[in-house]
């Protein structure tokens, strides 16, 4: 037996120079990562399906609201039906109400509209049955908020108001809370306004009045903004795309690991 340089035998059978071991199978690792990837993909797909369902709901909601807004006016809900009023069923329904305005208990609520900053003019209306409903008569700019300016649009006697039902806004707007003690209002909170003006029981909603022919154009009614953000389709596509990316990343990872394993197998000597 010949000795290589250094005087050590080169025969593998002597156990002095061990043969490279066969590479371990990556199957277990790929299965574990595969289950994790499957859970992620299923979660992303579920979010996408949820957004598709939300899209169907929002589309139906918009269609129902559009139908209410353009329908003929019906009598405003009677007092005995107030407990059954809901946002989903009644908001934006076009109604009509006849009664007398209580101008001495009017409230102005800060607003920002397409005409700039100013105030909504919220005036209680008492109908012939004694029930009180807050009417948003419309918008006035800041310089017309004074009582003497508002008096120009105050008509005496019974009046008929047509407009859209809007639900109370109990939370402050513009990052500010209502301050009844100082008569500063930032949201149309029906209950709080009724308490501050000693109106007693009032309807749990207010009515956005249609545009009226006021002498100087104010208050300017008919400014109800009906907007429903509808980005559910883009959200759904985003979640589905993320699911596809996650699945693709796992497949690329698995392919790379498997190719490396096969390459190592071919490099290993036969046992």
Q: How many CB atoms lie within 10 A of CB 22?
A: 12
Q: How many CB atoms lie within 10 A of CB 263?
A: 11
Give the pLDDT confidence of 227-249 residue by residue, as tens digits: 778 899 999 999 999 999 999 99
Query: Residue 174 belongs to a domain with what CATH number?
Result: 2.40.50
Do 247 and 200 share a structural domain? no
If we measure between CA atoms, which residue out of 145, 159, 149 comes closest to residue 96?
Answer: 159
Do 233 and 204 share a structural domain? no
Whether the pLDDT of residue 148 is over 70: the answer is no
If we measure between CA atoms, which residue out of 250, 267, 266, 268 comes closest to residue 29?
Answer: 250
- Residue 8 placed within a domain: no
- Residue 204 placed within a domain: yes
Do 233 and 192 share a structural domain? no
- Residue 76 placed within a domain: no
- Residue 220 placed within a domain: no
Do 163 and 131 share a structural domain? yes
DSSP string, the chain: ----TTS----GGGTSSPPPPPPPP-HHHHHHHHHHHHHHHHHHHHHHHHHHHHHHHHHHHHHHHHHHHTSPPEEPPPGGGGGG--HHHHTT-EEEEEEEE-GGG-EEEEEEETTEEEEEEEEEEEETTS-EEEEEEEEEEGGG-SHHHHGGG---S-EEEEEEEEE---S-STT---BGGGTB-SS--HHHHHHHTT--SEEEEEEEEPP---TTS-SB-----------HHHHHHHHHHHHHHHHHHHHHHHHHHHHHHHHHHHHSPP-
At which of 178, 209, 240 does a domain end?
A: 209
- Residue 222 placed within a domain: no
The answer to whether the CB of 238 falls within 8 A of the CB of 43 is: no
Do 238 and 144 share a structural domain? no
Q: In sequence order, which residues have a C-beta less than 8 Å from that of residue 243 and are 6 or more positions away?
A: 40, 41, 44, 45, 48
Q: Tell me the residue range of the domain where 241 lies.
A: 27-71+228-271
pLDDT at 102: 94
The answer to whether the CB of 118 falls within 8 A of the CB of 107 is: no
- Residue 241 placed within a domain: yes
Q: How many CB atoms lie within 10 A of CB 232?
A: 18
Whether the pLDDT of residue 109 is over 70: the answer is yes
- pLDDT tier, 70 (very low <50, low <70, confident <90, very high otherwise): confident
Do 99 and 47 share a structural domain? no
Query: CA 142, CA 116: separation in Å to the nearest integer?
Result: 9
What pTM was estimated for this model as a whole? 0.70
Give the pLDDT confidence of 211-221 residue by residue, as tens digits: 876 656 789 99
Do 97 and 205 share a structural domain? yes
The domain total for the chain is 2
Give the pLDDT confidence of 116-142 residue by residue, as tens digits: 899 999 999 999 888 999 999 999 998
Residue predicted with more confidence, 215 or 187: 187
- Residue 77 placed within a domain: no
Give the pLDDT confidence of 37-50 residue by residue, as tens digits: 999 999 999 999 99
Do 195 and 115 share a structural domain? yes
The answer to whether the CB of 121 falls within 8 A of the CB of 152 is: no
Q: Is 203 exposed, middle or buried (0-12, 13-18, 19+ CB in 10 A)?
A: buried
- Residue 33 placed within a domain: yes
């Amino acid at each position: 037996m010949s000795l290589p340089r250094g005087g050590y035998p080169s025969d593998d059978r002597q156990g002095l120079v061990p043969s490279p071991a066969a590479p371990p199978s990556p199957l277990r690792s790929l299965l574990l990562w595969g289950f994790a990837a499957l859970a992620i993909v299923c979660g992303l797909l579920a979010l996408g399906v949820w957004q598709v369902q939300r899209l169907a709901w929002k589309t139906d909601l918009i269609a129902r609201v559009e139908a209410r807004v353009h329908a003929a006016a019906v009598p405003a809900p009677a007092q005995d039906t107030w407990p059954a009023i809901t946002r989903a069923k009644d908001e934006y329904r076009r109604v009509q109400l006849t009664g007398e305005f209580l101008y001495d208990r009017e409230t102005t609520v800060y607003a920002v509209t397409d005409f700039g900053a100013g105030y909504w003019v919220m005036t209680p209306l008492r109908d012939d049955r004694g029930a009180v409903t807050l009417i948003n008569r419309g918008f006035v700019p800041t310089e017309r908020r004074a009582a003497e300016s508002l008096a120009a649009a105050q008509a005496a006697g019974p009046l008929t108001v047509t407009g859209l039902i809007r639900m109370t806004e109990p939370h402050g707007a513009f990052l500010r809370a209502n301050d009844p003690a100082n008569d500063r209002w930032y949201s149309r909170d029906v209950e709080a306004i009724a308490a501050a003006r000693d109106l007693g029981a009032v309807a749990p909603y207010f009515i956005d009045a249609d545009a009226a022919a006021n002498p100087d154009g104010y208050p300017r009614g008919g400014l109800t903004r009906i907007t429903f953000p509808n980005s559910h389709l883009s959200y759904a596509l985003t979640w589905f795309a993320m699911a596809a990316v996650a699945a693709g990343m796992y497949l690329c990872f698995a392919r790379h690991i498997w190719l490396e394993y096969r390459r190592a197998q071919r490099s290993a000597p036969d046992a």
